[in-house]
C-alpha cells in the first residue's frame, strides 16, 4: 500500500514563508499533488509534481524528490486566508489519489 506522513500542525505569521513536508512510502506512483481544504469545504488543487524538482504557481511552490521519497509545499507571503488544512496526495493507477495525514496551517498576525 501507500502511506504519506505530514506534520499535524504548523504555525506561521502573516507575510512569512512556510514549508509543509510530506514523506511517503509507495511501490510506485505517477506524481505528487497538493490540495488545500478549509473547514467544511472541498479540497482544492494547488500543485502537482510529475517529475523531480520545483514547480512554482504564484505564491505556492511544490517540490518532489523521488530518490528521497519526499516532497514539500512552500507558501510565500502568507495571508490569513491561507489558514487551512493542506494535504499531499500520491496519484496511482487509475488516477486514484492516496492522501497524506494532513497539516493544519495556522497563520497569525
Partner 1 sequence: GAVVSQHPSWVICKSGTSVKIECRSLDFQATTMFWYRQFPKQSLMLMATSNEGSKATYEQGVEKDKFLINHASLTLSTLTVTSAHPEDSSFYICSAADPGLAGGPHNEQFFGPGTRLTVL
Residues that bind partner 1 (CB under 8 A): 30-31, 33, 35, 40-45, 48, 50, 87, 91, 94-102
Q: First-to-last CA distance in the chain?
A: 40
51 or 109: whose CB is closer to partner 1?
51
Residue (14 or 90) nearer to partner 1, CB: 90
* C-beta closer to partner 1: residue 33 or 61: 33
For 40-61, b where at least 16 C-beta lie within 10 A, e where not — what string? eeebeebbbbeeeeebeeeebb
Amino acid at each position: 500500500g501507500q502511506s504519506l506522513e505530514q506534520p499535524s500542525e504548523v504555525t506561521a505569521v502573516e507575510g512569512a514563508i512556510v514549508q509543509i513536508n510530506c514523506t511517503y512510502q509507495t511501490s510506485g506512483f505517477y506524481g505528487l499533488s497538493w490540495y488545500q481544504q478549509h473547514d467544511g469545504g472541498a479540497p482544492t488543487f494547488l500543485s502537482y509534481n510529475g517529475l523531480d524538482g520545483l514547480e512554482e504557481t504564484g505564491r505556492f511552490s511544490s517540490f518532489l524528490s523521488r530518490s528521497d521519497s519526499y516532497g514539500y509545499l512552500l507558501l510565500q507571503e502568507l495571508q490569513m486566508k491561507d489558514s487551512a488544512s493542506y494535504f499531499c496526495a500520491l496519484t496511482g493507477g487509475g488516477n486514484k489519489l492516496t492522501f497524506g495525514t494532513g497539516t493544519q496551517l495556522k497563520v497569525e498576525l
